[in-house]
């Protein structure tokens, strides 16, 4: 069942224990942080409003309340411009607020979750799949019936079992020159 942006947003304030995200795209540039992405591409510093964006507050509030927020991003190198931005600016910023990140790098192996869409799982019972258009434009979200949640949690477990912590992966693979980041 399709849910409104307001209903989707409410899940982030109402979950009690954990919120997990699977990311599968190389480009979400039309879904948020557009001005920050433009600054990144132009080689300008991070805008202050991006550093303190609403998502940072959402993450910080949740993690300070003892809730876990974590995600796995499936990707392959070389990184797209958008992934260099998201990982170098977004993930680093969000880690400071308490969000955990894992990378499932398919550069040298097959993708065990090929064809699986982006999704959020809340408290192991509510799952929301997300639809995107070209350039990562968010088109909408669908709430999966609760009786199907376990199927999606198995996909989460496959992703986590195949992924590595972001910090170590980033240290090995981040661009070395400032102009690359």
Q: How far apart are CA 69 and CA 93, in angstroms?
A: 14
pLDDT at 60: 96
- pTM as predicted: 0.94
Contact criterion met (CB below 8 Å) for 2 and 130 = no
Q: How far apart are CA 144 and CA 167, in angstroms?
A: 32
pLDDT at 176: 76
Q: How far apart are the first and last CA of the chain?
A: 39
CA nearest to 119, candidates 19, 28, 6: 19
Contact criterion met (CB below 8 Å) for 102 and 160 = yes
pLDDT at 52: 84
pLDDT at 180: 43
User: Domains, the chain, ranges and CATH?
Assistant: 2-180 (3.30.870.10)
Provide CB contacts within 8 A for 74, sequence distance 6+: 22, 23, 24, 104, 106, 111, 113, 159
C-alpha dihedral, 81 to 101 to 10 to 144, nearest 10°: 90
Look at residue 19 and give its three-state secondary structure: strand
Q: Which residues of the chain have a pLDDT value below 50?
A: 178-181
pLDDT at 181: 43
pLDDT at 177: 56
Q: How far apart are CA 59 and CA 67, in angstroms?
A: 9
Q: How far apart are CA 79 and CA 25, in angstroms?
A: 11
Contact criterion met (CB below 8 Å) for 138 and 31 = yes
């Amino acid at each position: 069942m399709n849910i409104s942006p307001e209903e989707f947003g409410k899940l982030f304030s109402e979950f009690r224990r954990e919120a997990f995200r699977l990311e599968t795209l190389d480009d979400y540039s039309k879904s948020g942080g557009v001005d920050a992405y433009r600054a990144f591409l132009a080689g300008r510093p991070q805008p202050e409003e991006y550093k303190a964006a609403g998502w940072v507050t959402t993450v910080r509030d949740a993690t300070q309340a003892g809730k876990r927020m974590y995600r796995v991003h499936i990707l392959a190198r070389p990184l797209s411009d958008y992934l260099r931005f998201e990982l170098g600016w977004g993930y680093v910023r969000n880690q400071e607020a308490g969000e955990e990140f894992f990378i499932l790098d398919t550069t040298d192996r097959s993708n065990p979750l090929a064809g699986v869409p982006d999704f959020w799982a809340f408290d192991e019972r509510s799952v929301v799949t997300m639809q995107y258009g070209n350039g990562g434009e968010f088109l909408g979200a669908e709430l999966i019936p609760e009786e199907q949640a376990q199927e999606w949690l198995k996909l989460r477990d496959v992703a986590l079992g195949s992924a590595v912590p972001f910090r170590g992966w980033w240290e090995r693979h981040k661009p070395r020159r400032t102009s690359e980041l």
